Structures are given as C-alpha cells and as structure tokens.
Structure 1
Amino acid sequence: MLADLRDAMRQLRKAPGLTTTALITLALGIGATTAIFTLVHQVMLKSLPVTKPGELWRIGDKDRCCNWGGFTQGDDGDFALFSFEAYQYFRAHTPEFSDLAALQAGNSNLGVRRAGSPAPVDTRNGEYVSGNFFRTLGVQPWIGRLLTDEDDREGAPPVAVMSYRIWQDKYGSDPSVVGSAYQINGCLFTVIGVAPRGFFGAKLAGWGMPDFWLPLTAEILITGRDGKKPRLKTPQSNFLDLLGRVRPGTDAKALEAKLKVELSNWLASHVPDMDPGEKQLWQQQTLHLVPGDAGVTQLRSQYQEGLKLLLIAAGCVLLVACGNLANLMLVRGLKDRAQTSIRVALGASRQRIVSRSLVECVTLATIGGALGIFVAYAGTRLILHLTIENPRSYIPISAAPSVPVLLFTLGISVVTGIVFGIAPAWVTSHADPAEALRGANRTVGGGGSWEQKSLVIAQGAVSLVLLSAAALLGQSLRNLQHQNFGFEMQGRYLASINPSLGNYKLEQMEPLFRQFEDRLRQMPGVRMVTSVLYAPMSGDSWNHGIRVEGRPEPPPREDTGSGFTRVTPNFFDTIGAKIVLGRPITEEDTASTRHVAVINEAFAKKFFKDQNPIGQHFGPNRIRYSAMYEVVGVVRDMRYMTWGFKEPVRPMYFVPQAQIAQFDDAAFASGESASHFLYNIVIWAPEDPPGMEERVRKALASVDPDLVLYDV
C-alpha cells in the first residue's frame, strides 16, 4: 500500500496540469457538499449539549411562537403550546417524567443595565424557564449556580442566569458578575450564575438564543410592572413549550396515551370558562410526544426541506465532477495502456493494477477533500450570512468544521476517489500483453472508447437536471424581484425600537410617538414619518378571530383569522400603499371619536364578500365585541405578513394608535395595552440623503436618551 501511495504521488507530480485541474474540481465539488452537510449537521442532526439527550421527550410536535390564546389550538386540535396551569397539572400527574420543565416559546426583549451604571440600556434576549429547567437538562454552571424550584416561587428574590457568551463578550469573563445586581426591564435582579460554555438553551430558533434565563414567576413581576395581566395567571394563555426527562423503561406510546387523557381531564375542568366555539371542540383536542434530544427545533422545521434539496443538488454537482475526472483519468489510462500491458506481461495481477489505479484516485480525492474544507468553510459562512444570521440575535451555528463534518469530508473524499477511479481502473486492468509487444497501445484512438462516451452521456444528463433546476430557481427569483408588494420601499427607512423596555405607561405612548415623529420630520430631506406596531415584510403581526356585527357565532372550524396592526396617521401615504375605497386613518381619529379601522381587500372579500364594507362593524374573537370597529377604508392588498409570492395575501386590518378599546376580559385588555407600544418608525426621505442612520439615532436620542433602538 505504501509503495502504491508513493507511486501515486510520483504520477501526480508528473502531470501537474491534470493534477491541478482535478484538485480544483474536487475542492469545489467536495467543498460544496461539505458546506451543505455542515448546516445539515448543525440544524438537523445535532443533539443538545446536555446529559443523556436521548432521555428527553417533548410534549407537542409543532413549532409555534409565541402565544396561543384559548382552550383549543388549530383546526386539527393539536396542542403544542401550554399554559402555566396546564404545565403544573402535567407535572403533578405524570410520574413517568423524572423531571418536566417548561420554557417560553420565543424570547422576551429585555432592557439590561448593571445597577448603578450610567451606561445606556443594553438590549438582550431573555427566556422564562421553570426552576427545574437546568436540572431537567442535566446542565452544570460555569460559575455560580443555576435556577432551582425555590427561585421559581412567587415572591422569591428576583434572580437570573447569564449565558456564557454574554458573560465572555460583554463582561470580559468578570467573575464579579455573579452576585451583582442588574436592572432588567426596570426591575432589580441578581445574577446568580453563568451557564456552561456551549450551552445556548433548549431550542434552535431564528430569533436568537437567550442571553438571560429568568424564572417563570419573574413574568409576574415584569408584566405586572407594566400594568398587564401576567400570562402565568391566565389559564388559556398558552406560551410554554414542555420538555421532560423520562424514567428508564418508560414506554413512549403509553406515556403519550396517558398525556392525552390528562389533557382531556384538564380541559374538562375549564369547560365553564370556554367560549361557545371552544365548548364544541375541546373534546377533539390532542397532543403528541416526540423525541426531545434536539430540544425545540424551530430552525429545523424552517430549513430542513431547503437543506435537503441543497444537499441533493450539491451531490449532483459532485457526480458531474466525478464524471469529468473519470474521463480525464480514463484518457490518461489509455495513454499509459502500453506500460500497463508490459506490467501485465511481466506478471502483475489484475488486482494489483486495479489497486494501484484506485490508490492514485483516492489520494487525489483526499487532497482535494482537504482543500475542499476551506471551500466548505467559505461557502457555509456565505450561506449563513445570506439566510440565517441576524445582526440583532446570535444563533449558535458555526461554519467551522466539527469532527463529524471532518469525518464526512474524509468519507466522501474516499468514495469520490473510488467513484471516478473505478472506470479507469477497470479499463487499464484489461490490458492485453500481446498488444504491448506489438506497440498497439502507445496511442489513443480518436474515436473515444465506449466508457468515455457513457461517462459523457451521464455527465450531460445530470448537468441537464441541474441546469433545469437552476433555470426554474432563476425564474422564481425574477418573479420575486418584480412582484408588486403593494407598498413602496425606495427612500423608506425603518427604525426598530422597543419602548416597552422603558419606564413608560400606556397613556404616554401617543404623545411619545408624536414627539418622535415631529423630531424626525425636522430632519432635512424627510417628507413623511409614521409609526407602526409591526412593519411590512417583518413576518409579524397579531392575529385575531373576526366577529362581524349582526352575524351569529361562526362554526367551530371556520377560519375567521385576520392579521392586525396599529398605526399612526399618514401610515399608508408614508409607505406608498393605495386606499381603494373610503379614507385612511387620520389625525381626526382620536381617543374621543368612534373606533375605526382600515381593512385590506382580502379582509373585505373574506368577511363582506359583495357588500360595501364601509360603515360595517366588526371586532376580535367574541360576539360581544363585534361592534367595536367601524370600517372607514379599504387599502390595496400588501405582502405584509409573508415573503411568499405564491401565497395568498391574508386578511388584515389597521387601527389607530390614538384609540384604546375597552375589554371586559382581562387577557384582551392586557393585549390591547401591549399593542400601543409600537416597535417601528417608518421614515420617507425620497432623495435618500446620506448619513440617515446616524441622524435618525441622534434625533430619537434627543427625545429619549434611554430609548432602546435596535437598528435603522
């Protein structure tokens, strides 16, 4: 074998042109495949860095964010999010779990500042977790201690656990952080410990990893400070993912069946609290138990189909490269056929000839694979930058090759060498000694062998498939580029803020945003300014079931959902959206006037069909609220909540920031209050003046120096 290896290196040095071409081809082919596998491994195959991840099971098989109100979930009744009360019920009635933990679905925006520090508020991701969260996962602290059940009692001293990444990057691994007081959303917390290095929580999600973990009961403290009803006190506020560690010998199917009965029993205890529609559906609600070794894998659900397609495409590219290299090696093998015939004549076995040829090809492929690691790193970085990375949030997916990725690269390199080396090895091993004596094999025929022709045909077929797929993708991208979004983007700037992290009350919101907008309008080049709860194309909006005045309660499974957002006057003009009927929201829509709404065309078609929607009344979720809003305008459909140009535009309505609706339901009243803390300011500067980002930051800081501003 060593002799074959030395001979292979000698042969490669003798043909530098062929070797260079082959190495570049292999580096690109293997590198592309390895780049995709790096992402597949981290997003789809990697387990949580915890103790015995195979013992973890998740209750619920859907990835939902971030709060689902009510005692039923979806048309299929498949529960995936749970209320705090339901979590406590499962924990008390399911001894098959040695521990059952709860974690917030999604993150909370936290305004963090070390107590006594004059530094501006630092914006961080937070996650509410049960006191047994770290114990359930089997995680040990890096320094200090982690949360316990005692920390998760109402009235316990407010404490928090800091992530290792923030402790290292923000605080320079300062051990004095542990035991220090921090202001988090205006409340004083003590940091009791730092999570271990490499631990980022129990979910992989696009909105980023937690920087701080807070006990579930801290939600009562922080939410109550804002005057809202805590979700922990609302039985139908489902905002928790449940992850448990099962005892040895537990049968998953039997446990799932028991959990379904427990869910039914818990729902039955709340039948008097249910709405009429929920009373018809609660007995159909169900749940599923799924492996939790990877935690709550929101990114897996989001990207797994795309990654599979990319891996197949990269594999096809590698096959084309193999065919190309096989042809090159075949040509060289035919040129050297006379030498091979002489070896056979001197007694070399066919197995020896094949072994020599394959060692050369595998050696070449292994060197190409080593170079491909650098290509894979660059390719993975590019893909992460274009798709997953978010400047606001850290996602623990690294382009650096891990041990499984390196083993994959080695394996695919060896397989590649065998694939493109098998044809040349087979041809050269069939050399005829008699031909060598006549010198017939000293030149290569011009017509080409059938092996070469077969390889060319195979290359062409695979290349045609790839080119067709690329053409379809290009057409889709062109369609996306030229589609009509229903609003204008040229000259528009978006400032993302979070006033809920400040010390503001609900009644301060309208005058605060008036100050922001007035100050921004004074900037040179700015024509219009408006504010909005969720911005266009952000992928976010609140969702309500719609009830129309004068109509009965809709059937239980009828889709009555509509998106909702809150805006200030001039919103539609600022973003370039066209009002097709009626009027927009204006300065005349104040707290003392009737409550109004502008709906989109999809809303009008769905709920009013052939009727004139102007003057009609509707409300959210309950018949008793069906007269809450009067329709005063219809706006042309916009791609507001979805990026998919093939997906239909969803119904949506817009209501004024100045108007506060009154609800007799505490959960609705809390949501109404929260919706007035708008997250976005849209600035229209038609001439695109330079330095807008810095100027916007200074203008907003002149109104509130402590305002949490994410980006512009």
Structure 2
Amino acid sequence: MSLTDIRYAARGLRRDLGFTAIVVLTLGLGVGANTAIFSVVSGVLLEPLPFEDPDGLVTVWEHNRQYRNTMGQVSPPNFADWREQSTVFAAMGAAHWASVALAREEGATRVVAAVVTPDMFSTVLRARPLVGRVFASADGTPESELAVILSYELWMREFGGAADLVGSTLTIAGHSFLVVGIMPAGFRVPVYPDAELWIPLRWDPSSEDRSSHFLRVVARLKPTVTVEQARAEMGTIMSRLEREYPEHNADTGVNVVPLKRYVVGDVERALFVLLGAVGFVLLIACANVAGLLLARTSVRERELGVRAALGAGRCRLVEQVVTEGMLLAVLGGGAGLLLAFWGVELLLALAPGEIPRLGAIGIDGRVLAFTLAVTVLTGVVVGVMPAIRSSRPQVLEALKTGGVGRGAGREGLSARRALVIAQVATALVLVGGAVLLVRSFAALVAEDVGFESAGLVTARISLAGRYPDAAGRAVFVDGLLDRLNWHGEAQSVAASTSVPFGGWEVNQSFEILGRPAPPPNQEPDARIISATPSYFQAMGIPVVRGRDFSERDGPSAPRVAIINEAAARQCWPGEDPIGQRLRVPPDDPEVGVEIVGLVGDVRFYALDREPTAEIYYPYRQVPGYAVNIVARVPEDPARFIRVIRDIVRDLDPSIPVYSAARFGQLIGRTAASERFYMIVLGIFAAVAAMLAAVGIYGVLSYSIARRSNEIGVRVALGASPRDVLTTVIGDGCRLAAFGLVLGLVGWLALSRALTPLLHEIDATDPLTLLTTALMIVAVTFLASYLPARRATRVDPMVALRVE
C-alpha cells in the first residue's frame, strides 16, 4: 500500500462524499459500539485489582453443604483456627460490616464502615495510605486508643480535604477515634466496597461464639502456592474443625475463591453476552459496507477495465481497492473512537451500582489497541469481496461504449444478496435477544411484592451508641411516631428493624417448642423483624389470620410473635400456626413466644427471589438498634421524607437519618441490572435492524437500477404498478425469508447464553421467536417499499427506446 494509492483513494472518496459519509458513519457505529462495550469489559474484567500482586489475593468462605451456600460468612473462632493452622497463606485478615454515626457540628451523618483486623491493610492488601499510616498490630489491642482510617472520598466530602485531619479526633458511634490515615482515591476493602471508613478489630476472635458467622476473610497466598493447594489444605483443616465442633460446624466445608473472581461476581457472563452482541453489530456494519463497496466496484468496472487494458496487473487493481477499503476503515475507526467516548459516558450513566469497578472503566491504552485491531480487521473484512471482484475486470465489456461489466451483472448482485441475508440472520439473533430481555424484564417487574408500594416511603435511623438501653430506644421510637402522626400528612406511620428491599436483614435459627430438637446446623431459620403496631397496615401487608400487634404488647406483657405464610408452610404445613410456640435465642427456653398472627408473604430481597420465612416481634419487646420509619403518604411522598429528617433532628440532632427513599425506587433498584442489559441490548438490536433495513434497501435499489429496462418492458406489456410493487417487495421478503431461516439456526445455537439473565421465560420461547420474525418482516417490508414505489415510476417508453 503506497502513498500514491492512499492519495488516489482519498481523491476518489472526496469525489463521492455522500458514499463516504454513509460508510464512515456505518463503520463508526460498529467500531464505536464495540469500543464502548470493550471498555467496560476491560475495566471490570481485565484490569488488575489495585493491590500489590493482586493475583495472590483470595477470599475464604465457609461452605454450608446443607443449604448449598458456598460463600458463607465465617465465625470468629473458625477464622482464628484457620489463621493459626494454615501454612499456605502469607497473611490472613477478616472484616465485618458496620453502620456508624459520624458526629459533626451541623448534625450526625451515617457512614458505612468496615471493622478489620489490623493486618488487613499492611500485610494482606499491602495498601499504602495517601496521608498518615495504616493500622499497626497495637491498634487491635483493648488498651490502645481507638483509631480510624478514612477513605479519600469521605475526607473530601465531609472535611473538604483538611490537611490537619490526621492526628485529630472524631466522634464516631458516640466514641472518640484518632484519625491515623487517609487512603488514596478509589481505595476500598474489596469484601465491603461500600465502606468509607475502617476501624480495627479489638477483640480475640477465638473467644467469640462459634455459632455467630459474620466475618469475611481475605488472605494472601504464599508466592509458590496455588489456589488448588490452598483449597486442599483448608479443606483438611475444616474437616478437622467439623469433627471437633460438630454442634457448630456440621455439614460445613471451606471455599477458597480468587479475589478477582469474587469482585467480578456474576457480571462476567452478562458482559461477554453484550460483547458478543456488539460484535454482531460490527459484522452487520461490515456486511453493509461490503455491499456498498461491491456496488461501487460495479460502477467502476469500466474504470478498472481501462486500467487493466493499459497494463495494470491484477495485484495492482486489488491493492487499489483494498487501500480504499482500509482508508474507509481508518476513517470509520476514528469516528467510532469519538462515538465511543460518548458511549462510555452513556453506559456509565445507565450502569447500575451492582456492576463492580465502574471507576476503572474508560478509554485507556488497552481499549485503544482493541480499537486499532478492530479497525484493521474491519478494513480487511469490508475489502475482501470488492477486492476479489476487482481482480477479474472484463476488459472488452468495459471498453464498449455504454458497456456494463460483469460486476454489474447477476454474479455481483448475488454477492450483495448473500450479504443482506447474513445481515438479516444476525439481526434476528440480536432482536430476538432484546425481545427476550424485554419480556423477562416485564415478567420481573410484574411480580407481586406482597405489599402496596404506591405512596409508601421509608427512612432509616440508627440509635446505636446514643440509646444503649432497650427502654430508651423504645421511648424514642414511640415519641418519633407520635410526632409524625401528629403532623397529619401520612395516612399511617410505623417502624420496623428492616423493610423489604431495604438491604438490611437479620436471619437467625429458631426452634419449635414441643418438638424434638433437630440435628446441629439443621434448625429452621427465619428473618427476624421487630415492628410497631400498625406496621402491616402501613405497608399494606394483609393479616391473614389471628391479630396484629397492639399497644398492650409491651415489655412486661407475654412474649408474642407474628409469622408469615412462608414460615407456616415450612414449619406447620396443613396446620393452624396460631397458638403455637417457638423460640429464637435468647428467648426463654421453657416458654418461648406465642404465635398470635399470620401475615402474607413479601418479596424481601429481590423481585426474582421467592419469599422466605419471617418472624415478627413487637418492637417494644425486642427494640432494635436501628429502625426504618415507614409512612403511607397519598400526596408528595418526597416532602414527607424531609418531614422525617426535620422531626428526627428536632428530637435528637445526633441521630443520623439515611437510606430515605420511596419504595418504588427501592424496588426499581433490584431490577436495575436487568434494565441495563435490556436497554443496551435493545439499542444494539435497533442498530442491527436499522443496518439490515439499509442493506435490504440498498440491494433492492441497486437491483431496480440494473433491471429498469426490464421493468419498463413489463409495464409496456401490461404489468400494473401493483404487479411491479408486489414483485420488488417479494424480492425483499425472499431475502428476509432466507435470513430468518439462517437466523433461526443461530438463535437456537446462541440463545442459551442469555438463560442466566432471564426471568420466568425460556431462551427458546416460541412466542418470542414469532414476535421477532414478525418484526424482521415488518422492517423488510418498510425497507422494500420505497424501492418498489420507485420501480412503479419507471417510464416504459425509455425502456423501449433502449431495447
């Protein structure tokens, strides 16, 4: 490819700016979409974790074989035994989640924290602070001063990046903490990525209860140890602990997971599905451009024939056409890169928080190399068929006056038809995938959540540290509800320790009094919620049987509970649970609590998860440290959230109010990932359908131009405009039919990749296939109609004079 070839190709493209613009835009869409999606794949999946030797980091979990939970949190004594007995790790640290109140002069702010072993920063993650220091082993001793490390983001947001913050004290959860360090921007402890401050663990984990599982463990492998070797040794250690402590470790194994795999989670498959889908868009764009270049080569058949007659060899002709294709690909790649910058911003705006490592997404060197590779590959793909056509010019035909070369004949048209069939087939797969995700999303959001979300708002408050005694917490919540009810804007107001879709829950095993005790680790478990009277009324949860809580269910009254239908099905199938007794530690082992009511099920965690067992206590009998205020507000729910904040601040300025939202927002967040994949794949499908329509339009327009004389003769012999219209549209529909058959094969082969993303719908759903086929047929009809209308206006006299 010489400079002369490039100049000649550039001159030719400048002479036909309309053609050049269409090709560059088409390739830009394909390359830009691929670059944007690859930037997400690169940032999320390919970019190394921001730690020293990240491949040596793993997470270690308890594996509960009975419940098939492979990533269970760890009890502190098990963690202590692992750390003492293992030989495959250079370091092992643990963390647990906490929500704390950060006291400021202007009021309290709720901050998510992680309580970590002091070596988590220094020897496990090997993290370096931006300012100050990380925790030392002495920070974990009971006699040491309370220490805290802040994230860069919290430092900037709450303290304006004050240089003198390190060395000062902060009031956190009612205690004074010495700020010892600030971490760099973007730093997070991976097992708790939402934590913005870190506190050292200050207890001996071996002295804790082995039945409490709340730690997440991160470890660093020794340099010569593999993950498989670590799994083998940890399995041996856990088997020994299972024998030594059967009452707590029965049916419990261990699972070692590379930290990168844990961080990425379930999004890997979905991102590769999107990358495959956008690859199809590029293939359609390439087929479209190849068809346009074939048509251009056909128009230039005379020029190529003359050059061949003047002595240009076959390789020289091919080189010229390939140069033109590569120049178009480079221009398309440049346009695609510009579109990719905008596309990345759009993806980041649409992306849900569940996609990890969003901060690592951007156009970097790896993405630029990918764009270059895609551009070169695109140039090769779009130039192959035109190059083959140009290598065999029909010299004699080209030199005839008005001669039409072979490229304009049946063989050239057949190649373009084949490209259109391929475009339709690929579009069918993409559009079908988008329709599947739309139907899946519709089924997901149509699920009955079990309560009335319209007009329902919630806000959470934490009483920990400020009200350590149960009576004080109950009095504060009663006073808050009285003030909110007195305000008069809400139909009903209540409180509970957790709410559906709120992200806060406590699960605990329980026993049914009067029945034999089950084997260790096989007790039933349920979500434990403390709720005030009228909670079920405010939420719109039906009381199916028995009674609701009332004001008489106070701390000195007999202990009572309400269960949901899932708990009744699990523990009393076919029986009336009212009057039965159960015990959740630390309830009285002899008396327990009496079940006085049965309420309907709610989907608590996600729309695609079935309701599970729940046990409700009266809040006055079991007052939790944090509660959600729920209120049903018929008008302006957002304003009532401000009312909650104002009243809490008036009652006690040190109490933070957080996680305030309408329930519609909370429910929507659980479907955010599904909405993201649906929108992105829908955009790709729309682009694919549009490009396929352009391809059909182009080949039919080209066919009509080549057959204009034939059409004119037919009209002269009596063919009506309707006959011509039917013939041309029929040509387009035949192309679509071949494409649909080929696309069906691709659908059956590839649609299973979408199965993990679907809800209540099969990947080969016949209705979806039929809907997709009808959409493709409709697009084909629209793309065929304009050329067909133009064909009906062919002047038969012109055709007869030519003949």
The answer for the alignment partner of 2:107 in structure 1 is: 120
344-353 or 590-599, larger mean C-alpha shift:
344-353
Give the structure 1 partner of residue 455 of structure 2: 491
* C-alpha distance 342-48 of structure 1, shift in aligned 2 (>3 A): same
| Equivalent AA in structure 1 for residue 527 of structure 2 | G
Paired AA for residue 112 in structure 1: L
The answer to whether the 8 A contact 1:574-1:683 is kept is yes
Are the equivalent residues in 1 in contact too, given 2:494–2:534 (CA < 8 A)?
Answer: yes
Contact 2:348/2:358, CA 8 A, preserved across alignment: no
What is residue 15 of structure 2 aligned with on the other side? 14
Q: CA deviation at 1:679?
A: 3.2
| Partner deviation per Cα, 1:363-386 (whole Å, 9 max, x = no partner) | 433443444345444444444444
**Distance (Å, rounded) in 2 between the aligned partners of 1:697 and 1:631:** 35
C-alpha separation in 1, matches of 2:206 and 2:13: 69
Structure 2 unmatched runs, 5+: 662-803
| Structure-1 residue corresponding to 2:472 | 508
Match of 2:36 in 1: 35
Task: Give the conservation status (yes or no) of the 8 Å contact 2:113–2:195.
Answer: yes
1:138 aligns with 2:86: no
* Equivalences for residues 221-370 of structure 1 within 5 A: 233-271=208-246, 274=247, 278=249, 281=250, 284-292=251-259, 294=260, 296-297=262-263, 300-370=264-334
CA contact (8 A) 1:209 1:396 kept: no
Q: CA RMSD in A?
A: 3.2
Map 1:632-643 to 2 at 5 A: 632-643=596-607
Superposition pairs of residues 420-431 of structure 1, within 5 angstroms: 420-431=382-393
Q: Is residue 548–residue 626 contact of structure 1 (8 Å, CA) maintained in 2?
A: no
- Cα deviation, 1:465-511, whole Å, max 9, x if unaligned, reads 22222222222232234332221111111223323264553321211
Larger Rg: 2
Is 2:401 the partner of 1:401?
no
Q: Which residue of 2 aligns with 1:211?
A: 196
State the shift of 1:558 in Å.
5.6
Residue type of the partner of 2:633?
Answer: A
Distance change >3 Å, CA 542–CA 372, structure 1 → 2: farther
Alignment map for 1:652-667 (pairs within 5 Å): 652-660=614-622
Q: CA 1:79/1:385 → structure 2, altered by over 3 Å: closer, same or farther?
A: closer
Provide the secondary structure at the position in 2 that maps to 1:699: helix
Equivalent in the alignment of 2:764: none
1:111 and 2:71 are equivalent in the alignment: no
Match of 1:663 in 2: none
Q: 1:387 to 1:462 in 2, by over 3 A?
A: same
**Paired residue for 1:685, among 633, 650, 657?**
633
Partner residue in 1 for 2:418: 454
User: Is 1:697 paired with 2:645?
Assistant: yes
3-state DSSP class of the match of 2:464? helix
Return 587-596 or 369-378, whichever deviates more.
Answer: 369-378
User: Match of 2:489?
Assistant: 525
2:610 aligned residue (641, 648, 651): 648
Query: Cα 1:690–1:154, aligned 2, differ >3 Å: closer, same or farther?
Result: closer
Letter of the structure 2 residue corresponding to residue 209 of structure 1: D
Residue 193 of structure 1, aligned match among 181, 192, 201: 181
Distance 1:559 1:92 in 2: 30
Give me the whole-angstrom Cα distance separating, in 2, the residues matched to 1:192 and 1:679.
32
Matches of 1:268 and 1:253, distance apart in 2: 23
Please give the secondary structure, in 2, of the residue aligned with 1:182: strand
For the structure 1 residues 429 and 629, does the alpha-carbon distance in structure 2 shift closer, same or farther, using more than 3 Å as the test?
farther
Match of 2:777 in 1: none
- Alpha-carbon distance between aligned partners in 2 of 1:417 and 1:621, rounded to the nearest angstrom: 70
> Residues 527-571 of structure 1: CA distance to partner in whole angstroms, max 9, x if unpaired?
111112222223543223342222223356868333232211111
Q: Distance in 2 between matches of 1:552 and 1:689?
A: 49
2:93 matches 1:102: yes
Change in CA separation of 1:496 and 1:379 when aligned onto 2, cut-off 3 Å: farther
Deviation at 1:452, TM superposition (A): 0.8
Cα pair 1:103 1:133 within 8 Å, conserved? yes
Deviation at 1:442, TM superposition (A): 9.4
Q: For residue 626 of structure 2, give the secondary structure of its aligned residue in structure 1.
A: coil
SS of 2:164's equivalent? helix
Query: Compared with structure 1, are the counterparts of its residues 216 and 6 closer, same or farther at alpha carbon in structure 2 (3 Å cutoff)?
Result: farther
Q: How many Å separate the matches in 2 of 1:112 and 1:557? A: 38
Q: Is the 8 A contact 2:186 2:359 kept in 1?
A: no
Q: 1:567 to 1:351 in 2, by over 3 A?
A: farther
Structure 1 residues 243 and 340, CA gap change in structure 2 (3 angstroms): farther
Report if the CA contact (8 A) 2:101-2:655 is conserved. no
Offset, 1:78 = 4.7
Counterpart of 2:159 in 1: which secondary structure?
A: coil
**What does 1:599-638 align with in structure 2 at a 5 Å threshold?**
599-620=563-584, 625=589, 628-638=592-602
Find the aligned partners of 1:236 and 1:97 in 2 and give their Cα distance: 25
Aligned twin of 2:136: 148
How high is the TM-score relative to the length of structure 2?
0.75
**Equivalent in the alignment of 1:69:** none
Q: Secondary structure at the match of 1:237?
A: coil
Render the CA deviation track for 1:127-182: whole Å, top value 9, x for unaligned. 22222222322322222211122222232222222223333444343321111111
Distance 1:339 1:169, change over 3 A: farther
Give CA deviations for 1:99-144 in whole Å, capped at 9, x if unaligned.
Answer: x131325x3222224xxx5232232222222222223223222222
2:170 aligned partner, one-letter code = Y
Name the residue aligned to 1:669.
none
Note the alpha carbon deviations across 1:409-448, whole angstroms, 9 max, x for none. Answer: 3322332333333323332333333332233239845896
Alignment-derived partner of residue 68 in structure 1: none
Is 1:83 the counterpart of 2:58? The answer is: no
What is the match of residue 226 of structure 1? none
Contact 2:298 2:412 survives alignment (8 Å): no
- Percent identity over paired residues: 29
CA distance change for structure 1 residues 442 and 216 in 2, over 3 Å: closer, same or farther? same
Q: TM-score, normalised by structure 1?
A: 0.84
The letter for the 2-side match of 1:412 is V
SS at match of 2:448: coil
Greater CA drift, 342-351 or 517-526: 342-351
Task: Give the distance between the partners of 1:343 and 1:627, measured in 2 at CA.
Answer: 102
User: Paired residue for 2:672?
Assistant: none
Say if 1:547 and 1:623, in contact at 8 Å, map to a contact too: no
Residue 389 of structure 1 corresponds to which residue in structure 2?
Answer: 353
2:449–2:607 CA contact under 8 A, matched in 1: no
| Among 553, 567, 582, the residue aligned to 2:546 | 582
Maintained 8 Å contact 1:527/1:685: yes
SS at match of 1:691: helix
Deviation of the 1:330 alpha carbon:
2.1
Assess if the C-alpha contact under 8 Å between 1:639 and 1:649 holds in 2.
Answer: yes
CA distance in 1, matches of 2:521, 2:209: 24
| Consecutive unaligned residues in structure 1, runs of 5 or more | 63-71, 221-229, 661-674
CA contact (8 A) 1:141 1:196 kept: yes
Query: Separation in 2 of the partners of 1:82 and 1:690?
Result: 40
Deviation at 1:690, TM superposition (A): 6.9
Which structure: greater helix fraction?
2
